[in-house]
Amino acid sequence: MGFAAVALGAMALGTGVSMLGGYESSRAQAAYANYQAQVARNNAIIEQQNAELAIRQGQVAEEQQYQQTGQRMGAIVAQQAASGVNPNSGSALDVRTSTAEMGELNALTVRYNSQLQARNAMIGAMSYGAQAGLLQSQAGFDTTAGYLNMGSSLLGGAGSVANRWLQYNQQGVNVFGS
């Protein structure tokens, strides 16, 4: 076997190595995209749990606010009665009404803040879910790209080998002879 045959064989081998390298590179990219997609799905689950937790914590804090308001109201009535003021009329009633309104406002503020926190967590969960979908698509594209890269390497390499064989043939070099 002559130098020409060795050269053609090396070109063919190089084509095979190039094909394998391109395929393995795209497989690694696809695996990384799949991993990132799973991380995003996990983050979406955590954000959903955070939203549920924010609602539960808000409900507890709202209930505590109502209890505090009730305690304040009881203390006000007791103070008013102890001082000899009629708690059911005039400014004594106005004080209690104002206290009740402020307590309600505080409870509603607690509820609003917890719902806002939950909403933000749900938006984060949806964002992570969308990111997971995009990364999953990317993994599919990376896999397809690997097959296309292999085909491209094969065609390019085959074209190079054929071109070199034709050059040797035109120069009168017998590639497979002695």
pLDDT tens per residue across span 110-166:
999 999 999 999 999 999 999 999 888 888 888 887 777 777 777 777 778 777 777
Better-scored residue on pLDDT, 44 or 145: 44
Percent of the chain residues past pLDDT 90, beyond the cut:
47
Q: Are 26 and 101 in contact (CB under 8 A)?
A: no
Q: Please check the confidence at residue 14 and state whether its pLDDT lies above 90.
A: no
3-class SS of residue 88: coil
Residue 119 in tokens: 């909403």
Q: What 3-state class would DSSP assign to 86?
A: coil
Q: What is the pLDDT of residue 47?
A: 95
* Distance between CA atoms of residues 97 and 105, nearest Å: 12
| Predicted confidence band of residue 106 (pLDDT cuts 50, 70, 90) | very high
Q: pLDDT band at 23, cuts 50/70/90?
A: confident
Confidence of residue 22 (pLDDT cuts 50, 70, 90): confident
- Per-residue CA distances from 97 to 21, 63, 101 (Å): 78, 19, 6
**What are the extents of the domains in the chain?**
3-170
What's the average model confidence in pLDDT over 82-93? 88
Task: Name the average pLDDT for the chain.
Answer: 87
Q: What token pair was written down for 102?
A: 């402020």
The answer to pTM > 0.75 is no
Helix axes 3-82, 90-170, angle to 10 degrees: 180
Select from 155, 144, 158 the least CA-distant residue to 29: 144
The residue type found at 84 is G
State how far the Cα of 178 lies from the Cα of 174, in Å rounded to an integer. Answer: 7
Locate all alpha helices (DSSP H) within 2-89, ordered by sequence: 3-82
